Structure 1
Amino acid sequence: MADRRRRAPSVVRALLDAHGSTYAEDAGIRLRDTPQPLYQLLVLSVLLSARIRSTAAVASARELFDAGMRDARRMADASWQARVDALGRGGYRRYDERTSTQLGEGAELVLRDYGGDLRRLRDAAGDDDGELSRQLQKVPGLGPMGADIFLREVQRVWPGVAPRLGDKALQGARRLGLPDDPAELVRLAGDSDPAALAAALVRAALDKSVVEELVGEAADSS
């Protein structure tokens, strides 16, 4: 146990250095507290919610945005087939038709309820995590896991929900032999962005090679 504690700071540093990019960054989203990037993060969260490789979800988000579907209005106005085609180009083939429908319906919901601006959702929920999650889950295709993804990533520009790691990140921490207490993990990360820490820990939960690589590096450096 003492050896694990001694290695923990090295493991966290190595984890952030190697895997500390957020999924939003991977998808080319320049996250700011403005309507367009917040909506793009919502789309990415829907795509990451399905049982599909995260690389395919990220690539499909890029394809949708490159095809012009960068905000709720453009997503709603795009044809169902245009969304299917973009998803297919990103490798989102098993779920492309259903997801195209969900994205269209979700865009209409965001326009109707929030005028295309998810800051209105945040303001209505008052930065209450539970209420934010409940409201997000009204978006078609976005269940508890998808809401958790959105909130993990959006904490970079919504400090009221930070620090937020989530169950999947804590699973990654346990696999790395790190404490599964969020406050302790944030302390170990120092000045690092909690969103980057959460994304890196999620990658450790999803990919055992990340765990093998980092635990080995920490052992070598000790």
Structure 2
Amino acid sequence: MRAREILAELLERHGRTYAAEAGIRLRDTPQPLYQLLVLSHLLSARIRAQVAVAAARALFSHRLRTPRRMAGASWQERVDALGEGGYRRYDERTATQLEDGALLLLDAYGGDLRRLRGEAGGDREVLSTGLRRFPGIGPAGADIFLREVQTVWPETAPYLDAKALQGAEQLGLPTAPDELLRLAEGRDPAVLAAALVRGALDKG
């Protein structure tokens, strides 16, 4: 099977961002950007992606969709919501980190990640460094956020990180981002990146 056909099949099966799977209607506004930060935090732990997505949906169903609501909830409320999503291995530590991260976002950026974007001035490395200030967001979490946010922050695109390129390699696809984008024929780079990551994670 040719590379173009493999990629078309991959996009057909897995062409959905993790934000969309978590029910986040991603826009360049404070609430969905914060929800993406929470999702990136959860996805970066050593836990199955499906569990992280379910935990994010549970948090949001408990109305913990903004940094103010996240910080205002009790620690036990956050633990319970994470447990409801099946996120039990790291629930206690993560509940604390979510509060600390929400407070940092409120204090440093008035609850609005677009201010961090403005500080970065289009520099992805500066943006990544800023993201890693948030508790629980390490290099992997920053990569996840940047992969997904490129839909609404075009200056970060195209962003195909090491995990996405690992998926490409495992599928016998080119590992040069420009070549992958050409083969994807205009598909959203965030969708392409998510599909490649799922390809890397899918043992089947």
**Scaled by the length of structure 1, what TM-score is found?**
0.91
Query: Aligned match of 2:193 in 198, 205, 219?
Result: 198
Q: CA RMSD in A?
A: 0.7
Q: Does the residue aligned with 2:12 lie in a helix, a strand or coil? A: helix
Cα separation, 2, equivalents of 1:188 and 1:134: 31
Matches of 1:112 and 1:190, distance apart in 2: 42
Give how far 1:208 is off. Answer: 2.4
The 4+ residue runs of structure 1 with deviation greater than 4 A are none
> Which residue of 1 is the match for residue 139 of structure 2?
144
Q: Larger Rg: 1 or 2?
A: 1
- Using the TM superposition, give the Cα deviation of residue 191 of structure 1 relative to its aligned residue in structure 2, in angstroms: 1.4
Cα distance in structure 1, aligned partners of 2:73 and 2:199: 36
1:89 and 2:87 are equivalent in the alignment: no
Instruction: State the partner residue of 1:104.
Output: 99
**Identity of paired residues, percent?**
68
Alignment of 1:117-128 (within 5 A): 117-128=112-123
For 1:100-138, what per-residue CA distance to the aligned partner results, in whole angstroms no more than 9, with x for missing partners?
000000000000011010000001011211111100000
> Residue type of the partner of 2:176?
D
d(CA) in 2 for partners of 1:158, 1:109: 22
Gaps of 5+ in 2: none
Q: Residue 181 of structure 2 aligns with which residue?
A: 186
Aligned length: 204
Aligned-partner Cα distance in 2 for 1:44–1:140: 13
Partner of residue 74, structure 1: 69
> Residue 212 of structure 1 aligns with which residue?
none
Deviation of the 1:156 alpha carbon:
0.4
Aligned mates of 2:138, 2:68 — CA distance in 1:
22
Cα distance in 2 for partners of 1:94, 1:12 equals: 34
1:149-204 per-residue CA deviation (whole Å, 9 max, x = no partner) reads 00000000000000101000000000010010011101110111100000000011
Whole-angstrom distance in 1 between the partners of 2:151 and 2:53: 19
Inter-partner Cα distance in structure 2 for 1:166 and 1:65: 27
Q: Distance in 1 between matches of 2:170 and 2:48?
A: 20
Question: d(CA) in 1 for partners of 2:118 and 2:149?
Answer: 14
1:21 aligns with 2:24: no
Amino acid at match of 1:137: R
Counterpart secondary structure, 1:163: coil
Q: How far, CA to CA, are the matches of 1:104 and 1:49 in structure 2?
A: 17
1-structure distance, mates of 2:30, 2:125 = 22
* Secondary structure, counterpart of 2:79 in structure 1: helix
- C-alpha separation between the residues in 2 aligned to 1:98 and 1:113? 22
Superposition map of 1:36-51 within 5 A: 36-51=31-46
TM-score (norm 2): 0.99
* 1:127 alignment partner AA: G
Structure 2 residue 166 is matched with structure 1 residue 171: yes
Name stretches of at least 5 consecutive residues in structure 1 with no aligned partner: 210-222
SS in 2 for 1:63: helix
Structure 2 distance, partners of 1:206, 1:12, is 16
